[in-house]
Amino acid sequence: MRRTLALTTAAAVLAGLGATAYATTPAAEGAQDGRRPLADLRILLSNDDSMRAAKASNSDGLGLYELRRAMCAAGADVVVMAPWQVQSGKGTAVTNGGALTAQRRTALPAGYEGDCAGAPSGGAVFGVCLAEGGCAPDSPSATPADTVKLALRGGLAAKVGWKGAPDLVLTGINSGPNVAASVNDSGTVGAAVAAIDQEVPAIAFSSSGDESQLHFPRENYRAHAEFGARFVAGLRERGLLTSAFALKVDYPDVSAGQRAKAPVWTRVGAGAVAYHAYEQRGSGDTFDIALGLCEGGRSTGECVEHRADADSTWLLGEGHVTVAPITWDRTYGTPVDARRELKAVQRYVEREAPRS
């Protein structure tokens, strides 16, 4: 079954309308008893939802601050370079001319101000816009891939004095899942791909909304962020932070009090959960952009899913945390590099990764 929505409604469904700040509580396992499993790990954090965290439905960056909080609580040194405006759906797009400004945010969302106060870089947060000299409220934004490339190619050195690349790039937490065909459009995933293209390990995090998919509860972001800190700690402990491929980690809706089921190693689904549709206005030259949503049995066209290990099936249908490997190389039939690392990460996800 398929249905379409006007773009304004589509934006609400896929990207939400904003974010609300909340008071913090201890984040990763180990924070309460003094253990800091991510101590001395330098993390660059970006997203495609912006660094604003200002709107009511929690879609413009609240997940980024929850992830920042959890990683700092586990001992990491975190710096944020994120888009100035919401950039959902930008994929791996980059800007080919003009100038970028990385402007530090001094007034952080309420409740998140002191999360990284003890970190060497102080948890610096930068928004990146397409402008010279400064970013105004209506300045156009850098893309997610722009922010990662800027950070790795001189931005981090210039703004916080980091020498060399960070140990890890994290993107998200996105407002809404990035599964199935939408993965190709995802700026969250695109930013992670930009990192592994520069040989820096990367993980892209995305969380489901509530039943309406119009609101993205803080509870989902927080549960995902705390899982994420433990997940990263486990990878680090086992020497499995690799730039041979990125990981895509999607988290189910737990806002009604249910628990996320165990992590599952998946493939990106071949079908669609949502897709772009184009509706002609009368007989003229103009087409309205709409969002197509697959519902029910998803039995026709873009909605068909035939992969038993599809990320969308295990996330949305079964309520599991889903993990899938992502690579920058789109050449069909390319032999799998780092096969041993891939198998080791798969084994970790299936047997040893944290449970919620």
Per-residue model confidence (pLDDT) at position 14: 44
Answer yes or no: are the C-beta atoms of 177 and 207 closer than 8 Å. Answer: yes
Per-residue model confidence (pLDDT) at position 214: 83
Per-residue model confidence (pLDDT) at position 294: 85
Per-residue model confidence (pLDDT) at position 330: 87
**Residue 242 pLDDT > 80:** yes
**Per-residue model confidence as pLDDT tens digits over 61-119:** 999 999 999 999 999 999 999 999 999 999 999 999 999 999 999 999 999 999 999 99
**Per-residue model confidence as pLDDT tens digits over 87-102:** 999 999 999 999 999 9
Per-residue model confidence (pLDDT) at position 298: 53
Per-residue model confidence (pLDDT) at position 1: 43
Per-residue model confidence (pLDDT) at position 41: 98
Q: How far apart are CA 293 and CA 179, in angstroms?
A: 13
**Residue 162 pLDDT > 90:** yes
Q: How far apart are CA 208 and CA 252, in angstroms?
A: 5
The mean pLDDT of 257-272, rounded to a whole number, is 95
**Per-residue model confidence as pLDDT tens digits over 282-312:** 999 999 998 888 876 556 778 899 999 999 9
CA 146, 152, 154, 158 dihedral sign is: positive
CA 154, 159, 162, 168 dihedral sign is: negative
Higher pLDDT, 8 or 153: 153
Per-residue model confidence (pLDDT) at position 233: 98
Answer yes or no: are the C-beta atoms of 45 and 11 closer than 8 Å. Answer: no
Buried b (16+ CB within 10 A) or exposed e, 219-236: bbbbbbbbbbbbbbbbbb
Angle between helices 62-73 and 218-237 (to 10 degrees): 40
**Per-residue model confidence as pLDDT tens digits over 312-321:** 999 999 999 9
**Per-residue model confidence as pLDDT tens digits over 1-50:** 444 444 433 444 444 323 333 333 444 444 444 679 999 999 999 999 99
**Per-residue model confidence as pLDDT tens digits over 189-210:** 999 999 999 999 999 999 999 9
Per-residue model confidence (pLDDT) at position 167: 98
Per-residue model confidence (pLDDT) at position 299: 60
Answer yes or no: are the C-beta atoms of 9 and 44 closer than 8 Å. Answer: no
The fraction of the chain above a pLDDT of 70, given in percent, is 89
Higher pLDDT, 203 or 182: 203
**Residue 261 pLDDT > 50:** yes
List C-alpha distances in Å: 273 to 149, 163, 241, 267, 302.
30, 42, 30, 15, 8
Which amino acid would we find at residue 176?
Answer: G
Identify the weakest region by mean pLDDT among 22-26, 342-346, 350-354: 22-26
Sheet holding 287-294, edge to edge: 2-6, 287-294, 274-280
Per-residue model confidence (pLDDT) at position 247: 98
Per-residue model confidence (pLDDT) at position 16: 37
Q: What is the mean pLDDT of the chain?
A: 90
The mean pLDDT of 54-65, rounded to a whole number, is 96
The mean pLDDT of 139-160, rounded to a whole number, is 98
